[in-house]
Each structure stands twice: as C-alpha cells, then as structure tokens.
C-alpha cells in the first residue's frame, strides 16, 4: 500500500469516497483536533460543507502516556479500554486523576479553537466525523458517544487509514464507516504518512477560520 504524502493528500483521497454527501445542506464535517482537522478541512472543502471540531482527549497510562487506557470528550462522554485497565491493574482513582488533567486540556482547547462561538447543532444532521487514522479506536469511540447523545440523523466515521478489525467493529456502532486504506497490521498511524508532523493549535485555528463563513449553525 502506498503511504499518504501528508494529511492534505489523505483528506483529498478521503473526500473522493464521500461525494454522495456533496452540497447537502444538512451535512456537517467534524475534525478531531489536532491531526484530524487538516484531513477534515479537505473533506469539508470538497463537499461544500461547514467544518467544526469534536474535542476528544486520549487518557494515557501514567508513565506510558502513548498507551491509551481510554478517552474523554466534551459533554462528559468517556470510553475506557477495560482490557488495558484490567491487565495493568489501573485503579479508578488513577483513572479519575488522569481524566481531571485531560478535562482541563479539553477546556483549554475549546477556548482556543472555538472562543465564544457556540458549538454546532448536531441534532437531525448528517455528521461526518474525521480523524487522521484509527488505531485502538478509544478516541473515536469517545467522540461517537458524545455525538450520539445529541441525536444526529446519520453519523459517519471517515478516516484515511484504520485496521481491518477496528473498521469492522465501528460498523456496528455508527451508520457508516468510510476508509481509504485498511492494512491488516496497522502498527501505528504515522507509518502510513510520509509527513506526519504534529498539527499545531495555530494551524487548527487557521483552518477553522477559513471554513467559518460556510458555517450556518
């Protein structure tokens, strides 16, 4: 499988698989900051749809932060990886401490990215939820949980790359899953991109600002 050059190319290739949603007035594209936003920007532009964000934070295992034991989203939704918690013997107290830290980061990002702008209306809309890839699925599941609470008409998860197993699992949780590449062994999302440099807060704000005039919430 050929790697994506960067998130911009990945977004354009993903948009090509979502053309059925082009120019539909009820469609809303949501990117997961930070890396999902450049991908979502290309999709929103191609579909002529408004772009916003769905804020989610991974809950890293203390001392091994790259390992996710779950994720949280704005609105209080949380997805805990019970297998990781059980195998490592992580207590509820530790989970609560990590959640408190990540909730503060969620609030910081919300203030930075959205400012005083109200969150988008989700109810009865077709929502396309986008990230730059899905590994364990903990982050995207927290986003799915918080969006389902707001009763969208249709919830679509769209990503450039995901493992075949996660793809299959998510099909049972949302209305549709769209993916460009599904390698049997994913290993890490970054290896499927030639350029996987970290997206900055400034880039997120700039991309949101460029699409803001389309937003009719």
Give the full edge-to-edge strand order of the sheet including 126-130: 51-53, 27-31, 126-130, 154-161, 176-181
Q: Indicate if the pLDDT at residue 185 is higher than 70.
A: yes
Do 140 and 80 lie in one domain? The reply is no
Residue pair 135/163 in contact by the 8 Å Cβ criterion: yes
64: in domain: yes
Question: 193-212: per-residue pLDDT in tens?
Answer: 999 999 999 999 999 999 87
Question: 130-158: per-residue pLDDT in tens?
Answer: 999 998 788 899 899 889 989 999 999 99
Do 80 and 100 lie in one domain? The reply is yes
Do 94 and 170 lie in one domain? The reply is no
Task: For 83-110, give the DSSP string.
Answer: HHHHHHT--HHHHHHHHHHHHHHHHHHH
Go through 122-151 and write b for each residue having 16 or more CB atoms within 10 A of its CB, e for each that does not.
Answer: beebbbbbbbbbbbbbbbbbbbbbbbeebe
Instruction: Calculate what percentage of the chain has a pLDDT beyond 70.
Output: 98
Do 190 and 205 lie in one domain? The reply is yes
Do 70 and 36 lie in one domain? The reply is no
**Between residues 71 and 45, which one has the greater pLDDT?**
45
Q: Indicate if the pLDDT at residue 213 is higher than 80.
A: no
Mean pLDDT for 113-140 is: 91
In the chain the first and final C-alpha atoms are separated, in Å, by: 39
CATH number at residue 173: 3.40.50.2020
How far apart are alpha carbons 78 and 75 in whole angstroms? 9
- Domain residues for the domain of 46 are 7-55+120-211
2: in domain: no
Residues 6+ away with beta carbon under 8 Å from 71: 56, 57, 58, 59, 78, 79, 138, 139, 141, 142, 143
Do 42 and 62 lie in one domain? The reply is no
Residue pair 151/131 in contact by the 8 Å Cβ criterion: no
- The helix (H) or strand (E) run that includes residue 61 is strand 56-61
């Amino acid at each position: 499988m050929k790697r994506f050059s960067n998130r911009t190319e990945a977004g354009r290739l993903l948009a090509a698989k979502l053309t059925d949603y082009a120019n539909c007035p009820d469609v809303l594209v949501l990117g997961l900051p930070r890396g999902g936003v450049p991908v979502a920007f290309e999709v929103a532009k191609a579909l002529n749809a408004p772009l916003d964000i769905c804020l989610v934070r991974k809950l890293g295992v203390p001392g091994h932060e790259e390992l996710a034991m779950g994720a949280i989203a704005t609105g209080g939704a949380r997805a805990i990886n019970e297998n990781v918690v059980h195998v490592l013997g992580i207590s509820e107290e530790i989970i609560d401490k990590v959640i408190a830290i990540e909730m503060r980061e969620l609030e910081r990002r919300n203030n930075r990215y959205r400012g005083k702008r109200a969150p988008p209306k989700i109810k009865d809309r077709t929502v396309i939820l986008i990230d730059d890839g899905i590994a364990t699925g903990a982050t995207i599941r927290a986003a799915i949980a918080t969006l389902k609470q707001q009763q969208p008409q249709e919830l679509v998860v769209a990503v450039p790359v995901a493992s075949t197993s996660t793809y299959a699992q998510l099909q049972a949780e949302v209305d549709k899953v769209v993916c460009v590449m599904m390698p049997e062994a994913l290993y890490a999302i970054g290896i499927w991109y030639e350029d996987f440099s970290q997206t900055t807060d400034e880039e997120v704000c700039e991309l949101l600002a460029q699409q803001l005039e389309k937003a009719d919430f």
